[in-house]
Every structure is written in C-alpha cells, then in structure tokens.
C-alpha cells in the first residue's frame, strides 16, 4: 500500500463510488453534492441515517472521500470534527471495526496536515493515535485476534510518526520514537519493521546529530550497547542483512549500500566481506560480488587478494570494460612498482571507456595512468625508457588536471613528480597551489614545500614553512614535521639544536603511547613502535655524522628494541665501522643491509664505493652495484659520484666526466630528505 493510500471499505470503480458499512451501501453522489456546497453537517447526517453510523464514523467516511478526491483542505475541515478522546471512551477491544474507523479518521487528518506542511500538528495527532491504541488495548493486541485492516492502519501510523518528527525538526524526539517502536513493535510485520530499521539506520548515519546510547531502561542485561550513532546504525543494518539471509524480508540493495558506507567509515570492510559471502547466489552478478569483495580487501590492505578478484572480473569472458573495476585495479597497481605495467593497461582501458555518462571519470583514469607510469619508470632498467615513462606520466597527470582543475591530489602528485625530476620551479608552483587549495590542512603539502625549498638550498625558509605547519597540525601528528625540522637544522650546521628537536620528538612519542595506555589496539601500538624507531634511527644517523660513536651505539640499541631487523640500522653500524677504519666489518654490515632490503640504496652505494678501492678486479662488481642503485634511485648523487670514480679508475674518462657532472648538479638540488618519503 502506498503512503498516501488508506485502509478503506469504500468500493470504487471508474464509473461509480459508494459507501459500505454495517451491511448497507449507498452511492456517494448525493453526499458529494452536499460537500461541494459546504454542507458538511447535512452530509454527515445523511450518512448516519442511511448506514447507521455514529458521528465519528460518518466524519471518517466523509474525510476519506474528500482525501481521495484530492481536496486535502476540505478533508481536514471534515476530520477536525472528530472527537478522538470521546470516541475512545465508547470503544471496547471487542469492537475493532469501530475502533479502526475512528482511528483511520485521525490518521487521514495526520496525512492531510502533512500534505499541508503542518508537521508538528501532524506528529501530535499521530502520537494521539498510538496513545489511543494503547488505551483501547491496554494488554496489547493479540496476534490471533487483531483485525488485519486495523493492524495495517496502526503499522502505518507507527512508521509515519518518526518521519513527521524529522520533518518538524524534532530530531531527538524522532530518535526516541524510532527506539520506542523497535523495542515495542506493536505486532508489526517483518517488512514494516525492516523499513523502520532501515530508516532509523539512515537517519543515524546522515542526520549529523549524535543520538547517544539508549536510556538505561531500554538496555537489557548483558546486551551490547552501541556507543555512538555509527555503531547503532551498523547493528541495525546487520540485523536487516540477517533477515534478508533468512528470507524474512525481501532483498533490498540499498541496505547493503548503507552498510558498505558505514563499515568503510570505521575501516571494517572484512565484516562487509562476510556479508557479501553469505548472500545467496543470484542476488548479485558474480562480477559485482567479485568487485565488491576486491574493494573490501583493498580497504584493509589485502591488495594481492583484491587483484586476484579483479583479474577474474576483468577477464575477457566476464566484464573486461567495467569502469569501476578498471579504476580500482589501476589504483592498486599504482601503489606497487611490480604491478605498475599491468596497471598502465587497466588505466588506459578506463580512459578509453570513460564515455557518455561516464565522461566525468576520464580525469580519474588519466590520473591513475600517470601514477602507474611513474611507478613503472622507477623499475625501468633503461635510462631512455625511464625518461620516456616519466614524461608520459607527467603528460597524463597534466591531462587529468584539465578535467579536474581543483583536484588537490593531482596537484600534489604533479608537484611531487616535478620535484623528483628536479624541476624545482614547477614543483614549487604546484606545492604552493596545493597548500592554497587545501587551506594548509594537509601535512604532506607543507612537507613537500619544505623539501623543495631545501633542494633550492633555502634552508631558513624551509624551516619557517615547517614552523607554520606545526602551528596547523595536531600535537600527535607532528612527528614527520619535527624529523624534517631536525634535518634542516643539521643542514644549517646547528647539530645541537637538531639533537634537542629529536629529544622533544622522542618525548612526544612516548607521551602519546602513555596517553592511550593499554586500551590501544595492536595496529596502533605497532605504528607507535615504528615512529619511535624512526626517532632513534634519526638520532643515530645524526650522532654518526658527528662521530659520537658511543651515542650512536646507544641509539642503535634502542632502535633495535623497536624493530629488530632493519636495513637502516645495519647500514648505520656499517658506516660506524667504516669511519673507524674497520673496512671488512663495514662491508659485511652493508651486505647484510642489502640482504634485508634489496632496494635499500645507501648500502649498495657504499658496497660499490668500498669495492672500487680493493683493486681493478673489483671494479666490474662495483660498477654493477652502483648502476643498480641508480636504477632504483636515479637522483642519488653519491651513486653518481662513486660510479664516476669507478669509470675514472677503469679508464673511461668520458663516462667519468658525465657521472661526476651529474653528481655535481644533483648536489646543488639535493633535498634534506628524499622526495619519495612523502609519496
């Protein structure tokens, strides 16, 4: 039954209408004529005489007629004459038909008030209906005895009340009404109860009003009590999904949409995966299920599983041109250099298929294409190929920006790409634009700007930028900024100030851990360990540059408590051995660091440098290691310098000059921290 329909005994056809009550029928023609002339009392009297009705019942039939004719204001005038309280006194639980007629009259009045925008009055009258039901049936309505039309009308009133309260702006009362209904469902059928649960869940998710936990009187002993709107909404939606699984209510795709949104807000996509897996075959096309499961997996970092699902979905025999799946696959590939080439294919297909109503997604596809090309360039073994891929990446990002001119992500990525290629003026322009468009609210924008300024040897300005960023950043998020500030102080030959900055940062990290205490989840604790490790490692590197070896040993020991196996720490120990003249021990440490992380460039550089000093027989190995380091990090000036020295010792003077010139140029534009650290 639609919302504007009402329970009715009136028999209608396209040619005639009539009233029926108490076994008697009469045409509506005479009554309509009287109503058209404004003779409400005469129309009422006629009905009472012909159909043996009381005043309230007659008014209900007249109001229903006017409502069905579309005369809402006229219906309201008629129905205003119903004295609900007086009618209740006359009614008994055994006379359900009479009760239904009177309550239906008030319900029609509620609907009329709603159509006229008088929501507060409508809500009050709707409350009166439900109160009246409670008085007429103080012991509740027995399931076996309730008249179906009466139950239908009561169900509609129950469902309507919270909607009216929301329309009237009485949001707290609406939430109380939802909870009251769900605690005392008044014989509601599964479908009606399901609609109310869904409406309440949607309201909790999107109202912007914090409901707070249910009252103590509504809490059952031992039951789980939701702490906030989000938890309560998720519980309601999970109950609805359970009803769908059991066949109690029909499949409603919007329930899953709302659940997907709610669970994504709290990073609980594995729960959504379980719900998807429990759905019966045929509810979703298998590719849709694979795509949603892939989205759930990627949401918790299970990218390998996500890609396996997407490859199935995008197979030529399934839906190879599904735009959403292509974009998700490209995004996952853009985060992994080893998958970048595969991602380029997905992104290009997404761009090619972004047509018609999906034209607006072409910019997203071009952005993913640029990111995948940039990642692919990082693992290219050819300098020419790397340069070509980097240029194509920039072209794709520029094209993406033409579709989405105010997209801060594209602006940031262009700035970072230009910075990596040492086009510092262009990088600076995009970094400033990113800070402007985000209002300085995102830390990585400040870091990028400071790194670009440091690459331009403008260290004092970079430190001013970091100080401004610290003012805009919450206390617990300042770690990366403070580490960068310490490195800027080192670059300005102020090592003692850098040490103080690190000490302050260490105190901040430890205070953060204590402030959360034992209630922190495992991932948060692990994250803090990594942050504390970075502080101790930074201090170790700083003391190493000052040749304070005792302090280096202390810091390395502390860092190892945070992270036992680390290429960075082993490398730092190697540098300490090297500075002490312990070449074999240094070489062993550098090799161990490379074994821990085959992509750790500093150890490859120093292995190559040390080998180059062991004689001509070691030069080919040194050259291979240094070339491999440059393949991973083409802008590493130390790798260029030592490769130049290897070429010089090997008699390749032209190659040596090229390498040394590259090292010299890079030294003039070397940031205090690798640009890759912010990507």
Sketch out the chain's domains with CATH numbers. Answer: 23-136+148-185 (1.25.40.10), 477-561 (no CATH), 565-574+597-678 (1.25.40.10)
Do residues 460 and 492 lie in contact, with contact meaning Cβ atoms separated by under 8 Å? yes
CA distances from 397 to 353, 370, 406, 436 (A): 18, 5, 13, 19
What is the average per-residue pLDDT within 441-447?
Answer: 93
**pLDDT level of residue 88 (50, 70, 90 thresholds):** low
pLDDT at 8 over 60: no
In percent, how much of the chain has pLDDT > 90? 53
Structure tokens at 324: 């959403």
Give the range among 252-261, 268-277, 371-380, 644-653 with minimum mean pLDDT: 268-277
Per the structure block, which two tokens stand in for 1? 């039954």
The closest alpha carbon to 448, from 424, 471, 470, 475, belongs to 424
Q: Among the listed ranges 109-118, 269-278, 481-490, which one has the minimum average pLDDT value?
A: 269-278
**Across residues 212-218, what is the average pLDDT?**
59
Cα separation, 397 vs 385, whole angstroms? 18
Which range among 131-135, 209-213, 350-354, 539-543 shows the weakest confidence by mean pLDDT?
Answer: 209-213
Instruction: Measure the CA angle with vertex 600, ends 599 and 603; round to 5°.
Output: 130
Q: What is the pLDDT confidence band of residue 474, given thresholds at 50, 70 and 90? A: confident
pLDDT of residue 12: 37
Evaluate if residue 449 carries a pLDDT over 90.
Answer: yes
Reported as a single tens digit per residue, the pLDDT across 115-158 is 999 999 999 999 988 888 888 777 666 665 567 777 888 889 99
Q: How far apart are CA 132 and CA 122, in angstroms?
A: 15
* Of 68-72, 97-101, 242-246, 333-337, the least confident: 97-101
**pLDDT bracket for residue 215 (50, 70, 90):** low
Name, of 103-107, 563-567, 569-573, the range with top average pLDDT.
569-573
Residue 10 confidence (pLDDT) above 60 = no
Q: What's residue 2's pLDDT?
A: 43
CA 470-474-479 angle, to 5 degrees, is 65
| Per-residue pLDDT at 273 | 85
pLDDT of amino acid 91:
61
506 Cβ contact partners less than 8 Å away, ≥ 6 residues apart: 532, 535, 536, 539
Model pLDDT, residue 470: 92
What token pair was written down for 524?
A: 């948060």
Residue 506 has pLDDT above 70, yes or no: yes
Give the range with max mean pLDDT: 123-127, 187-191, 273-277: 123-127
Query: What confidence category does residue 60 fall into, taking pLDDT thresholds of 50, 70 and 90?
Result: confident
Q: Residue 127: how many CB atoms within 10 A of its CB?
A: 17
Q: Which of residues 215 and 24 earns the better pLDDT score?
A: 24
The highest-confidence range among 254-258, 350-354, 355-359, by mean pLDDT, is 350-354
What pLDDT, on a 0 to 100 scale, did the predictor assign at position 367? 97
What pLDDT, in 10s, does the model give residues 14-43? 334 788 777 777 888 878 888 888 788 888
Distance CA 309, CA 297 (A): 9
Predicted confidence (pLDDT) at residue 347 exceeds the cutoff of 70: yes
**Among 68-72, 144-148, 279-283, which range has the highest average pLDDT?**
68-72
pLDDT mean over 606-632: 92
Stretch among 65-69, 98-102, 153-157 having the lowest mean pLDDT? 98-102
**How many alpha carbons fall within 13 Å on the CB side of residue 201?**
26
Interatomic CA distance for residues 544 and 547, integer angstroms = 5
Q: Which segment of 74-78, 218-222, 388-392 scores lowest on mean pLDDT?
A: 218-222
User: Is the per-residue pLDDT at 284 higher than 90?
Assistant: no
| Per-residue model confidence (pLDDT) at position 499 | 93
Average pLDDT, the chain: 86
Q: Pick the residue with more confidence: 139 or 406?
A: 406
DSSP state of 220: P
Q: pLDDT tier at 49 (50, 70, 90 boundaries)?
A: confident
- 615, with CB counted inside 10 A (0-12, 13-18, 19+), is exposed
pTM over 0.95: no
Answer yes or no: is pLDDT of 410 > 90. Answer: yes
Dihedral, CA of residue 39, residue 42, residue 44 and residue 50, to nearest 10: -140
CA atoms within 13 A on the CB side of 179: 21
Which range is least confidently modeled, 30-39, 406-415, 548-557, 627-636? 30-39
């Amino acid at each position: 039954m639609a919302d504007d329909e009402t329970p009715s005994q009136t028999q209608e056809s396209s040619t005639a209408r009539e009233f029926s009550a108490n076994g008697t029928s009469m045409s509506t023609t005479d009554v309509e004529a009287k109503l058209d002339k404004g003779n409400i009392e005469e129309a009422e009297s006629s009905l009472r005489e012909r159909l043996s009705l009381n005043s309230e019942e007659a008014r209900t039939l007249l109001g229903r007629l006017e409502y069905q004719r579309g005369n809402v204001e006229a219906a309201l005038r008629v129905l205003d004459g119903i004295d609900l309280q007086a009618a209740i006194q006359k009614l008994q639980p055994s006379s359900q038909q009479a009760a239904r007629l009177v309550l239906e009259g008030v319900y029609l009045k509620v609907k009329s008030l709603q159509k006229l925008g008088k929501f507060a009055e409508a809500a009050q009258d709707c409350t009166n209906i439900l109160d009246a039901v409670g008085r007429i049936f103080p012991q509740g309505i027995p399931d076996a005895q309730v008249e179906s039309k009466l139950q239908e009308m009561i169900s509609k009133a129950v469902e309507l009340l919270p909607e009216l309260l929301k329309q009237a702006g009485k949001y707290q009362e609406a939430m109380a009404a939802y909870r009251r209904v769900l605690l005392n469902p008044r014989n509601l059928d599964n479908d009606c109860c399901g609609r109310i649960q869904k409406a309440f869940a949607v309201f909790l998710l999107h109202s912007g009003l914090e409901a707070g936990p249910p009252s103590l009187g509504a809490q059952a002993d031992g039951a789980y009590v939701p702490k906030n709107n989000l938890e309560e909404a998720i519980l309601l939606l999970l109950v609805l999904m359970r009803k769908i699984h059991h066949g109690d209510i029909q499949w409603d795709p919007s329930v899953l949409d709302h659940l997907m949104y709610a669970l994504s807000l709290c990073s609980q996509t594995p729960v959504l995966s379980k719900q998807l897996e429990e759905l019966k075959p045929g509810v979703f096309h298998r590719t849709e299920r694979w795509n949603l499961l892939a989205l759930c997996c990627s949401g918790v970092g299970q990218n390998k599983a996500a890609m396996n699902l997407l490859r199935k979905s995008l197979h030529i025999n399934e839906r190879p041109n599904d735009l959403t799946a292509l974009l998700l696959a490209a995004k996952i590939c853009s985060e992994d250099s080893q998958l970048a080439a595969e991602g380029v294919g997905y992104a290009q297909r997404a761009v090619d298929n972004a047509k018609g109503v999906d034209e607006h997604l072409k910019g997203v596809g071009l952005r993913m294409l640029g990111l995948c090309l940039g990642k692919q360039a990082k693992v290219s073994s050819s300098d020419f190929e790397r340069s070509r891929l980097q240029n194509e990446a920039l072209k794709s990002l520029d094209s993406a920006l033409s579709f989405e001119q105010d997209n801060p992500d594209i602006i940031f990525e262009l700035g970072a790409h230009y910075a990596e290629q040492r086009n510092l003026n262009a990088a600076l322009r995009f970094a400033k634009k990113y800070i402007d468009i985000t209002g300085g609210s995102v830390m990585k924008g400040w870091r990028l700007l400071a790194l670009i300024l440091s690459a331009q040897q403008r260290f004092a300005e970079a430190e001013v930028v970091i100080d401004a960023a610290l003012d805009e950043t919450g206390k617990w998020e300042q770690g990366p900024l403070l580490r960068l500030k310490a490195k800027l102080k080192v670059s300005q030959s102020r090592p003692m100030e850098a040490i103080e900055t690190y000490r302050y940062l260490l105190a901040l990290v430890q205070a953060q851990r204590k402030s959360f205490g034992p209630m922190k989840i495992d991932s948060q604790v692990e994250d803090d360990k990594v942050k504390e490790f970075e502080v101790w490692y930074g201090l170790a590197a700083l003391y190493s540059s000052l040749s304070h070896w005792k302090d280096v040993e202390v810091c390395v020991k502390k860092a190892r408590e945070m992270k036992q196996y680390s290429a960075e720490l082993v490398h730092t120990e190697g540098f300490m051995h090297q500075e002490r003249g312990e070449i074999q021990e240094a070489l062993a440490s550098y090799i161990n660091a490379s074994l821990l992380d085959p992509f750790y460039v500093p150890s490859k550089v120093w292995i190559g440098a040390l080998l180059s000093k062991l004689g001509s027989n070691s030069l080919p190995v040194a050259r291979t290691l240094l070339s491999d380091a440059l393949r991973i990090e083409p802008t590493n000036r130390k790798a260029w310098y030592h490769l130049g020295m290897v070429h010089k010792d090997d008699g390749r003077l032209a190659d040596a000059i090229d390498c040394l010139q590259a090292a010299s140029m890079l030294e003039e534009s070397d940031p205090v921290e690798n640009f890759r650290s912010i990507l």
